A and B are shown apart, each in its own frame.
Chain A
Amino acid sequence: MSTGITETEDDGTETQTQAVGAARAAGETYTEMDSQEIEAANEEARRRTRELVEEADRTVKLKVFRFDPEVPEKEEPRFDTFTVPFSKGMTVLDALMWARDQYDSSLTFRHSCRQAVCGSDALFVNGRQRLGCKTQVADLADSGIPKKVRIEPLPHAEVVKDLVVDMEHFYDQMESVEPYFQGEDTPDGLEEQYQSRENREKVKMSTRCIWCGACMSSCNIAAGNNDYLGPAAINKAYRFAMDDREGEDLTEHRLNIIEQEHGVWRCQTQFSCTEVCPKDIPLTEHIQELKREAVKKNLKFW
């Protein structure tokens, strides 16, 4: 089968790339690097990293939590310090990625979207739950840039490795509140359910949750009581309970779920969840509102 691809002949110009290209075109095959060449390449990479750090106008020191149950030297949790060149607009995630790519490819953390919507990189930065991608390094100091940035995995969660925590418990709590719309009387065909602008506004903030787990990690109650639903799951319940498109029977069903022993009544209004939420969801307020609804519902029977 013809590939239809022909290679350019060397046109005689003297650039190195073209010479290499011509050599390849002439059928020279690729040869593997030997161990000395690999070591030289890696040493060269380390030298360039050092150079970048030395040439930088300003640097920032990341003090990063390390742990790996499988690697003998990381079995005991420890902190590693990485010196990273600072650039304007640099986020904590940028700094972590630089450290990983330049110093230690085993440095492990979750991240994906870089824009505060996927909820992957909730971390404990300088003693507070934050999204790495949304946190400007420069904002971590009162003036200038911070001398040190301490980065740890989310507290109150089991550490899998380095900055990665097990999210299963968080997901379980989410799922326990039946986190899906259960409206029954949807119109036929291409007709939507009507919803007032006011009602959409009422649930708007609650629908912005990105499941990052910052709130759950910051909550003292959740820390001491593994059964407590936690702010994110209760907020999810609120999102549906307050949505007019679900009928009254369903609202009652949802209130029954969240007024159980480990539901809304555990909340002691410390506001820590609200303070750390990267999407500014008024979590504590939502929880209180559900408490009120639960009381009102029971009044019917008194």
Chain B
Amino acid sequence: MHEHDVIVVGGGGAGLRAAIAAHEEGADVAIVTKLHPVRSHTGAAEGGINAALRDGDDPKDHAYDTMKGSDYLGDAPAIETLCEMSPEETIQLEHWGMPFSREDDGRVSQRPFGGLSFPRTTYAGAETGHHLLHTMYEQVVKRGITVYDEFYVTELATTDHPDPEERECHGCIAYDIKSGDLVGFEASGGVILATGGDGQAFDHTTNAVANTGDGLAMAYRAGVPVEDPEFVQFHPTTLPSTGVLISEGVRGEGGILYNGDGERFMFEHGYANNDGELASRDVVSRAELTEVNEGRGIEDEYVYLDMRHLGEERVVDRLENILHLAEDFEGVDGLDEPMPVKPGQHYHMGGIETNENGHTCIDGLYAAGECACVSVHGSNRLGGNALPELIVFGARAGYHAAGRDLGEARIPTGPSARTEDETGLDTPVSPGAIDQPDPDAVADGGAMTADPAATVERTLDGERARVEEMMERDGINHAEIRSDLQDAMTQNVNVFREKEGIQDALETIRDCRERYQNVAVADPSRTFNTDLLHTIETRNLIDVAETIALGALAREEFRGAHWRAEHQARDDEDWLKHTMIAWNDGEPDLYYTDVLLEGEEKTYEPKIRSY
């Protein structure tokens, strides 16, 4: 058993920032991560960090752009917190030595980005995330913060209580990948989940293989509602063969999208008459797929992104990394020919419900970064808003878990925030756990224990039994289940969604659940058993995919990234509300909470969103 004040699960941008903040606050903090921190997918972020740093810009404008981008499903207190804190957090990175690109006068560079009224995307070439990640890991090394590297957290240790808001999180259980031991971690101050995205629920994604929604699934099963899961961002410019991301920075610097007929379709077909290529991501993704569906794509699959006219000097100075990616992963020289691009899963707006301090409804359990939903992004995230989210809310969660008073949170969490129930959702199969109450779920009426160590021990015993069983028994391999799940999600819960397709996806998910009951780990070894690791991940992906599909089926409107064939309009009267899905001991409970449009100084009025 390892004991610390604060445990941070995940060593990416949000996790590192949370750990540094908790350490600054004087806490004994440890990072527990399945990948060495520098391997985190934050390193793949390219575009930049939105921060209102310059004369003529203002955090209020940043907040307005973010709210508009969210299609009015973001919560004003979260958005205003992000925009007010982003400048100091961004400059903090510079003070820590981050190698930002520079202007002639020596100040950090900013570029235009989609959906922004001011060029406030602060960048380091087309590899901003790589530099952000390495800079923050350097600071973790400098401070001597403990890192349990290649330890895979499999479950949270929380107390049993029928009402999640009465539960407490005392730690977590991790699998030491190198030795094969299951280890208990006890945290007196709190556990901060910073496990990143869940793009592996889809087939064509920019996300790393490690982005399997572990934190989201663990929090969900512990009783924290998943907020707005149906909102998944599909990035408009990913390489067709691999899903590798081509930064929005290309369009920010002046790159142009063409269809197979050589038309600049964003303008010529009226998708975004003002902003064209720099419309919001959801708008551009739909435009591209519409072009392809109407026969104006190339090879019936993709469109072209052209940056040749920008000239070699500018491209090499600001977008050099894009040249490498296009060359290495698509065999295309971006200086010589246009790059083939198509939409790919990129970011999950939804996630673990938290307030603006990163706190969930379970005492001592926090979440920050992509796995969390504050909600800053609502139904669509603006490019350049993910990195500030990591540093702003990572820091807040770290400070709060370590005991700093951040004032009363304005965003309510947990079942008590419920304003409306979903009634009569038409699902073809029963979602959730199979047969008996799931052994991993927090069971109602279980042993109520006041002793944190005993809580962790009990969870540890449960995890040992689960792993033991998967190792010992004969069964089937998880890989095919994972790939069927990914195919179903990409087929049916993609950019364009319709009722029947989502229902098909739910059937496949149920089928995956049933098959998963029979998975076994073929590798008998205790040493670096990735077979076991991936098998556990697959179960997390099933839970995550199900919340996405359920939320998508329930929401009968078109808002932000959520497009429904049968419902072609945003419906503020019925749907200006957050979707919540609670695990409810394995029987998902769908309900709704209010969107908070009231900010510090003004109330945001939903308007027609055009670019």
Contacts and interface: CB of A to CB of B under 8 A. Distances in A.
A89 to B, nearest CB: 5
Interface string B467-499: 000000011110110010000000000000000
A175 interface: yes
Interface in A233-248: 240, 243, 245-246
Contacts of B435: 29-30
Contact of A197 (B104, B483, B590): B104
Given A24-B430, A134-B328, A200-B102, A114 B244 contact: yes
A197 B208 contact: no
A207 interface: yes
A190 B91 contact: yes
A299 to B, nearest CB: 28
Contacts of A204: 99, 125
A141 to B, nearest CB: 16
B503 A8 contact: yes
A56 interface: no
Given A5-B587, A192-B107, 12 more contacts: A2-B423, A2-B589, A4-B425, A5-B588, A7-B427, A8-B503, A17-B504, A33-B475, A106-B529, A112-B39, A161-B528, A179-B141
A180 B138 contact: yes
Nearest to A115: B244
B428 A25 contact: yes
Contacts of A52: none
Interface in B513-559: 514, 517-518, 521-531, 534, 550
Contacts of A106: 522-525, 529, 531
Interface of B: 35-36, 38-41, 43-44, 53, 87-88, 91, 94-97, 99-108, 125, 127, 130-131, 134-135, 138-139, 141-142, 178, 208-210, 241-245, 324-325, 328-331, 421-431, 434-435, 474-477, 479-480, 483, 503-504, 507, 510, 514, 517-518, 521-531, 534, 550, 584, 587-591
29 contacts: A2-B421, A3-B584, A5-B431, A5-B550, A21-B428, A33-B476, A33-B518, A89-B330, A101-B479, A102-B479, A105-B534, A108-B530, A113-B43, A117-B44, A118-B39, A118-B208, A161-B528, A167-B36, A180-B97, A180-B142, A190-B87, A192-B95, A192-B107, A196-B102, A196-B106, A200-B99, A204-B99, A210-B43, A210-B130
Given A161-B527, A210-B43, A119 B95 contact: no
A246 B105 CA distance: 18
A212 to B, nearest CB: 10
A6 B427 contact: yes
Given A24-B510, A210-B130, A117 B43 contact: yes
A112 B41 contact: yes
B524 A71 contact: yes
A183 B588 contact: no
A193 B94 contact: yes
A144 to B, nearest CB: 16
Contacts of A102: 479
Interface stretch (A34-42, A221-229, A269-277, A282-290): A34-42
A111 interface: yes
Contact of B328 (A39, A116, A161, A181): A116
